[in-house]
Amino acid sequence: MLRTRVIPCLQLINGSLVKTVKFKNHSYIGDPVNTVRIFNELEVDELCFLDIRASVENREPDYELLGQIAEECFMPLAYGGGIRTIEAAHRILSTGFEKIIVNTEAYRNPQFVRDLTARFGSQAVIGSIDVKKNIWGKRQVYIYDGTKKVEVNPVEWARALVEYGAGELFVTSMDKEGTWEGYDLELIKEISQHVSVPVIANGGAGSMNDMHQAVFEGKASAVALSSFVVYQKKGMGVLVNFPDKESLYVFNQG
């Protein structure tokens, strides 16, 4: 079988690397460029950066920082946050990033996704979906860094993003994000079964077993890791790390 992609997903605020819990209460992690150097040494296959406040603050991506990251990084890169125009996407991809991630603007203007894929190809466009349960247990989609609820079903929105041309989906459980409690397997599986593109599971990874369940039970095509790769353990200090090759080999055997 093909090796499952295991992708560190790193959050940015004001040029610093941070980590949130359920999209709130961010903690400082470190310098993003130095962190990239560590991941180079750990031979990570792919990296994802999200500027989590760019859309909320209605500002452009930090192109200077992204250029520094791309110059230092030896692996494929994806970026999301504040991408609202074809020009912004072109500028990011021109720095050396391979993929862009769209969330808020994709909902506000679905034609934007079509325009992106027409210009850059579906392989370069990832549709991001943030999902949270309400008090009755119903899953709802959010935009603007989880601050605004929109009236669309997660599965329907996933299918729409694929129809618009997104070549991958990045699905985050807001309830699980930063908790170390495991992925929302039901959410991941439901979306994976209704789309024809790879689904990246995000939010909640706390162990190799969580990753295994996301892929072999949730049917995710890839898994994103955040707290798991920037902390020693839950409740402990910062330590940039990544599963060793032996652990990843066992993980991929099912």
Domains of the chain plus CATH, in order, are 5-252 (3.20.20.70)
Paired tokens of 72: 């230092």
Q: Residue 122 has what pLDDT?
A: 98
Q: Residue 246 has what pLDDT?
A: 87
Q: Band of the pLDDT at 11, cuts 50, 70, 90?
A: very high
Separation of alpha carbons 115 and 73, rounded Å: 28
Q: Give the SS3 label for residue 206.
A: coil
- The residue written with tokens 């807001």 in the block is 174
Greater model confidence, 19 or 3? 19
Is a pLDDT exceeding 90 seen at residue 3? Answer: no
| Average pLDDT score over residue span 139-158 | 97
| Average pLDDT score over residue span 96-118 | 98
Paired tokens of 230: 């920037």
Whole-number average pLDDT of the chain: 96
Separation of alpha carbons 125 and 166, rounded Å: 5
Is a pLDDT exceeding 80 seen at residue 241? Answer: yes
Is a pLDDT exceeding 90 seen at residue 163? Answer: yes
Write out the catalytic residue numbers.
130
Q: Residue 247 has what pLDDT?
A: 87
Is a pLDDT exceeding 90 seen at residue 245? Answer: no
Q: Residue 248 has what pLDDT?
A: 87
Separation of alpha carbons 76 and 68, rounded Å: 14
Separation of alpha carbons 57 and 73, rounded Å: 27
Name the residue among 92, 30, 96, 34 with its Cα closest to residue 61.
Answer: 92
Looking at the chain, the whole-number percentage of residues with pLDDT higher than 90 is 93
Q: Residue 165 has what pLDDT?
A: 98
Is a pLDDT exceeding 90 seen at residue 115? Answer: yes
Is a pLDDT exceeding 70 seen at residue 230? Answer: yes
pLDDT in tens, 164-210: 999 999 999 999 999 999 999 999 999 999 999 999 999 999 999 99
Q: Band of the pLDDT at 2, cuts 50, 70, 90?
A: low
Looking at the chain, the whole-number percentage of residues with pLDDT higher than 70 is 99
Q: Band of the pLDDT at 227, cuts 50, 70, 90?
A: very high
Question: What does each C-alpha distance from 244 to 45, 182, 250 come to in angstroms?
Answer: 12, 20, 10
Q: Residue 183 has what pLDDT?
A: 98
Exposed/middle/buried for 209, CB within 10 Å: 0-12, 13-18, 19+? Answer: exposed
